[in-house]
Amino acid sequence: MDLKEMSDQEICDLAKPILLDTIIGANNKDWEQFSKHMPERDASDLESKLDVERQWDEDEYLTKFTDKPEFLGVLRKKDCVVVLWKLRTSVNDDEYLERLYLEVKDNTVSQIGIWTD
């Protein structure tokens, strides 16, 4: 499977359940759920886990996203795709840009990064 060869809609359909699992994990401050689609080396990295947990504690909005992301588009990079979403929270009226980075290794789609602006 080559993500870069898929249509934007196919990538959206593949990425949305991954994003929703990540949102559920963040909203519940549940690292296992949040990291469910990460490569094992990242999901088991204690430093990454502690950093994310610190962010959850410092920035309330990161644990209050609604489960209705709005798909914006896909950026195709050399080794991955970046799926762009508009998110909202239950704590304010701000809109957030979510960048979900995905790659395929050994025929498995993995979340290799997620950033919120």
Instruction: Tell me how far apart the alpha carbons of residues 44 and 67 are, in angstroms, rounded to a whole number.
Output: 26
pLDDT tens figures, 13-45: 999 999 999 999 999 999 999 999 999 999 999
Instruction: Please report the domains of the chain, with CATH numbers, ordered by start residue.
Output: 3-116 (3.10.450.50)
Kindly provide the residue ranges of all beta strands, DSSP E only, lying in the chain, ordered along the sequence: 70-76, 81-88, 95-105, 108-116
Q: Taking the model in full, what pTM does it have?
A: 0.93
Amino acid at 97: L
pLDDT tens figures, 88-99: 999 999 999 999
